[in-house]
Amino acid sequence: MNNALVKTILILAASALLSGCFGSRVQLSEHERKISDLNERALGSAAKGYATDAQELLQEALRLASAQDDRNGVSLTLLNQSRLARHDGKLQLAAQLVEQALANAGGTSQYADAAQEKALQELAANRLAEAGRWARISLTSEQGNLQGRRLNLLARIALMTGDKTEAARLAEAALAANKRDGAELERANSLRMLGLITAQERQFDKAEELLQEALKLDKQQEASAKIAADLEALAELAGLQGNKELQQGYLQRAKTVREHSKVISKQ
């Protein structure tokens, strides 16, 4: 499991879900702070490779949330348990946990996030039709400011099915939504996807501009895994242009970023 990737994705997901859980209130109750803190600590432990510690923290969060009939806290914790299982390749356990989360989150603002996790699990199992169905459910269930994130996933699935036209349309819509909502990491995801699509259409100058903008945003956010993905996308662009030297340079930079981010995540 890539610890840097887990840290980037899971902490982002936790922040988004917490917004859904607790709305726009500035002050959390003592109970909510405990649940939030336990989940954040668990994700941090997982990113550093301490799987047992992470599971113990999440079990404690689940116990506390269940004892208070806290559906928000239960859903948050179940989803993070499911995400950890998915990133560890434990797809059967992940599926069981996300089904519990979906049942618990029904009728709440968290249902969209649970549906997105379900879509990602279907994607991991290469069931693209089901992944697309759940991604659409996630989008239609979204009650907050994560529309761009939902659209990015739909664009990704469309690209995987070979529908570049639909992927580009969805990614453009995602880009607009993410820019509107100030979701910089998701905006970079939209730009990277559009850059790759544009590169495959051999619009090299436009692709370069899009990918460089994605790289700039990810560097501002200090998102190592995404920086590496941007560099790899630039390497693909260089390859399509027949510039092998530039391609190898980008690939080496991406490799260096990934190697050093692993070291940092374990400190």
Rounded to whole angstroms, the Cα distance separating 221 from 179 reads: 15
Last residue of a domain, one of 111, 144, 177: 144
Question: Quick one: 115 and 222 in the same domain?
Answer: no
Rounded to whole angstroms, the Cα distance separating 96 from 6 reads: 20
Question: Quick one: 62 and 174 in the same domain?
Answer: no
Tell me whether residue 23 is in a domain: yes
Question: Quick one: 19 and 109 in the same domain?
Answer: yes
- Determine the straight-line distance between the first and last CA of the chain, rounded to whole angstroms: 16
| Helix locations, the chain, DSSP H | 3-22, 30-47, 51-67, 71-87, 91-105, 111-124, 128-141, 147-160, 164-181, 184-200, 204-220, 224-240, 244-265
pLDDT at 42: 94
Rounded to whole angstroms, the Cα distance separating 146 from 211 reads: 22
Question: Quick one: 130 and 209 in the same domain?
Answer: no
Last residue of a domain, one of 94, 120, 144: 144
Write down the pTM of the prediction: 0.87
pLDDT band at 262 (very low <50, low <70, confident <90, very high): low
Range in 11-20, 152-161, 187-196 with the lowest mean pLDDT: 11-20
Digit-coded pLDDT (tens) for 67-88: 999 998 999 999 999 999 998 9
Range in 14-18, 100-104, 108-112, 144-148 with the lowest mean pLDDT: 14-18
Tokens found for residue 37 = 């803190």
Question: Quick one: 133 and 228 in the same domain?
Answer: no
pLDDT band at 198 (very low <50, low <70, confident <90, very high): very high
Tell me whether residue 150 is in a domain: no
Residue ranges making up the domain that contains 83: 1-144
**Nearest 5 degrees, angle CA 77-CA 73-CA 179?**
80
Residue 179: helix, strand or coil by DSSP? helix
pLDDT at 14: 52
Last residue of a domain, one of 114, 144, 174: 144
Nearest to 98 by CA among 56, 46, 138: 138
Tell me whether residue 46 is in a domain: yes
Question: Quick one: 129 and 255 in the same domain?
Answer: no
Question: Quick one: 225 and 123 in the same domain?
Answer: no
State the total domains in the chain: 2
pLDDT at 19: 52
5 pLDDT above the threshold of 90: no
pLDDT at 261: 81
Mean pLDDT computed over 237-254 = 98
CATH number of the CATH domain containing 211: 1.25.40.10
Question: Quick one: 178 and 115 in the same domain?
Answer: no
Tell me whether residue 218 is in a domain: yes
Digit-coded pLDDT (tens) for 6-53: 544 454 455 544 554 444 444 778 998 999 999 999 998 988 889 999
pLDDT band at 108 (very low <50, low <70, confident <90, very high): confident
pLDDT at 162: 95
Please, what is the average pLDDT of the chain?
A: 90
pLDDT band at 148 (very low <50, low <70, confident <90, very high): very high
